[in-house]
Amino acid sequence: MNYQLEMLLSDQPAVLERVLQTTRYRGFRINQLNMQPAPEQLASRKLKVSMQVSGKQPITILTSQLHKLYDLASLECRTALSPSIERQSTLTQALPRTA
Amino acid sequence: MKKGAQAILHFLTEQGIDQVFGYPGGAIMPLYDALLDSPIRHYLCRHEQGAAFAAIGYARSTNQVGVCIATSGPGATNLLTSLADAKLDSVPLVMITGQVARSAMGSDAFQEVDVLGLSLSICKHSMLVLEPQELLPTLQKAFQIAREGRPGPVLVDIPKDILTGLVPESDEQAASATAMPLAIPAQLQTANQLLAESQRPMLYIGGGVGMADAVNELRDLIDRTQLPQVCTLKGLGSANTDHPLYLGMLGMHGLAAANLSVQQCDLLIAIGARLDDRVTGKLDEFAPHAKLLHIDIDPAEIHKRRQADVSLLGDLKVILPQLHCVGDKQAWREHVSELKASKAFPYAFDHSPGQIDAPQLLRMLSDMSAANAIVSCDVGQHQMWVAQHMQFSHPTCHLSSGGLGTMGFGLPAAIGAQVANPDTQVVAVCGDGSFMMNVQELGTLRRYRMPVKILILDNQRLGMVKQWQELFHDERYSETDLSDNPEFSRLAAAFDIDSDVICCRSQVQTALERMLAHQGPYLLHVQLDHKDNVWPIVPPNTANHQMWEQPK
């Protein structure tokens, strides 16, 4: 199953490594990755990261761990059908950062 | 304006931190220089891993943030095992590491290592301070993250030139605490409905209860509902061990009644527990007839290993008082009570001259030591015997490396616990293999003359590995023979620590009495039969009710 993740991250040292490590460790493969400064958030130095991942586990195994990253400002997850990304459902978790 | 090093110590003092653990070195030298003029008491351990385990012992025995300090490079890498240990056991810790000066960073400078990169997956959060004005806000954030929600370790890496340079006062107000989730009333109602409808409910208590400071709320819940209870390794001490329906630890080396009851229950109420593999055994046969009510502060633990039927996310202190259990569960209570009686461990406190039996010795130690005594242990057979046969009045009284299972934890953790609790009896129960992993901390005991008691359960083996080789590897013993151990009493003597050695059952009581009555540090070397194993055991990929309760 493919998933499209849209993240807004604080531009802190190692922030991208955190996302990549978490994704690998929780058993997901990265198929596409794009990163750019968030134009509307220039003042607060935010990065916009789009990532397409695939994995056998439920995506919540990954998204619940990404939510723990202190440099993550927001996360949106969509189910994607490969090869063309088709929006099936949008899963926007509003998890408290308590862990 | 203060120099960075002074500002850090001033900040720590403001946080109420007056005792830290560490080991000096090049990049962190400015902080050690400033320590000379600070009211903070620094405890010099003999290895950075020992310092960090001491900070963990401090934190776990108090539920407060522990602080340890190390230099760059090898100092920082020596912390990493302890950092992972604290992550896996949710221990609030702040580690401060020196880093080479910013101008040298990235040049493979002397004692330079990318500790931020190394730390990422083994801590709750880690930060590198790159500007002087970031120093104090970063520390503030570190303490807040370490404490809030599910606690955990935070590493702060600070270049040497920031320690020596001036840093501005922080005008940032303390960040407001992250709002804890509040369990949704509808879910609470469903949870209470599940409790009411269940015929065979069981409380499965994890380390989260102690970390949430919810021991009183849990005991109140037990008093109100009279539900049977089992504990994880980290949950031990949360429930009142005198309660007639308290069944002890569950899992791979859980007590028989605990495992059997969980397998038979129809509602499992996981409280601050994460259904880890040592608890569940074969996951799809764990509590196979039960619905799962999962209560935790960490959303990532809900549905992680098993889909919960109902979950309550939030502070246990708030949630537990809102749980109720109506309906007639008396038949179940009686069944559990009978199971507990029929599976009770057959302690026989005889004084025959035979070989020492570790379970009986530990039960005797448990009965003889102070009610609030703190017991730390290493990892292996002795750790499981401690969990099975000693009783704890509070989770802060039992310090055991659970998630990471780190050998060498016991002695330094006991040192940290004794620093935090100078008037409390502290006993480190060590295996002979584990003890040697941080044996250098005898030097710390000698330096500070702390009255830590060390009990070495010595079977001249890496006992747990040997047990697995015996049971599951056709008795092919590979590299588990430690019969060339040093003579532990002579080792203790080299550090001015009094000691005793016993080898037969008739010596146990007197030796334990002498150890506990001794004024200073003490080492009791207990020689065991290497053939002794830990029972019960749940073999790998086996359901918990199929545990082996005794040797075949």
pLDDT exceeds cutoff 80 at A43: no
Look-up: residue for tokens 């083996």? B461
Q: Which one of B298, B301, B317 makes the best mutation probe of the A interface by having the most chain A beta carbons within 10 Å? A: B298
pLDDT exceeds cutoff 60 at A83: no
Locate B451 and state its tokens. Answer: 């009255």
Residue ranges in B63-166 assigned as alpha helix (H) = 74-77, 80-88, 115-119, 135-147, 160-164
Contact across the interface for A21 and B120, Cβ inside 8 Å: yes
B116–A contact, CB cutoff 8 A: yes
| Residue B408 · residue B49 · CB < 8 Å | yes
CB pairs under 8 A between A and B: 57
Residue B466's contacts (CB-CB under 8 Å, 6 or more residues apart) are B477, B480, B530
- Top-level class of domain B358-538: alpha beta
Q: Taking Cα atoms as reference points, which of B332, B282, B344, B359 lies closest to residue B529?
A: B359
Q: Taking Cα atoms as reference points, which of B181, B150, B194, B182 lies closest to residue B323?
A: B194
Give one DSSP letter per residue of B441-454, joined into a string.
Answer: GHHHHHHHT---EE
Q: Which residues of A sit within 8 Å Cβ distance of B? A: 12-14, 17-18, 21-22, 25, 58, 60-61, 64-65, 67-68, 70, 95-99
Predicted confidence (pLDDT) per residue in B342-375, tens digit? 999 988 766 677 999 999 999 999 999 999 999 9
Q: Could you tell me the pLDDT band of residue A79, with boundaries at 50, 70 and 90?
A: confident
The DSSP code for B356 is P
* B64 to B15, B84, B144, B378: CA distances (angstroms): 11, 18, 12, 22
The DSSP code for A8 is E
* Percentage of the residues of chain B whose pLDDT score is greater than 70: 98
Locate B211 and state its tokens. Answer: 């970390």
Q: What is the ipTM of this complex?
A: 0.91
Q: Where in chain B is the domain with CATH 3.40.50.1220?
A: 185-342
Contact across the interface for B149 and A67, Cβ inside 8 Å: no
Q: State mean pLDDT over A82-89.
A: 44
The DSSP code for B184 is -
Q: Could you tell me the pLDDT band of residue A25, with boundaries at 50, 70 and 90?
A: very high
What is the rounded (10 degree) CA torsion for B204, B290, B151, B128?
140
Q: Tell me the chain A residues in contact with residue B149 when contact means C-beta distances shorter than 8 Å.
A: 96-99
Q: Is the Cα torsion angle B224, B229, B234, B237 positive or negative in sign?
A: positive
Predicted confidence (pLDDT) per residue in B34-59, tens digit? 999 999 999 999 999 999 999 999 99
In which residue ranges of chain B is pLDDT below 50?
Answer: none
Predicted confidence (pLDDT) per residue in B179-216, tens digit? 778 878 999 999 999 999 999 999 999 999 999 999 99
Residue B93 burial class via C-beta count within 10 angstroms: exposed 0-12, middle 13-18, buried 19 and up = buried
Q: Could you tell me the pLDDT band of residue A99, with boundaries at 50, 70 and 90?
A: low
Q: State mean pLDDT over A61-89.
A: 79
Superfamily of domain A2-81 in the CATH hierarchy: ACT domain (3.30.70.260)
Determine the straight-line distance between the first and last CA of chain A, rounded to whole angstroms.
27
- Per CATH, is B2-167 categorized as 3.40.50.150? no
Residues facing residue B2 across a β-bridge: B167
Q: Where in chain B is the domain with CATH 3.40.50.970?
A: 2-167, 358-538
- Per CATH, is B185-342 categorized as 3.40.50.1110? no
Phi, psi of A66 (to 5 degrees): -60, -35
Q: Taking Cα atoms as reference points, which of B415, B421, B410 lies closest to residue B370?
A: B421
pLDDT exceeds cutoff 60 at A93: no
Q: Is the Cα torsion angle B290, B295, B301, B303 positive or negative in sign?
A: positive
Neighbour-count burial for B142-169, b at 16+ CB within 10 Å, e otherwise? bbbbbbbbbbbbbbbbbbbbbbbbebee
pLDDT for B346 equals 85
pLDDT for A86 equals 42
Q: Taking the mean position of all CA atoms in its chain, how far away is CA B515? A: 24
The SS3 of residue B500 is strand
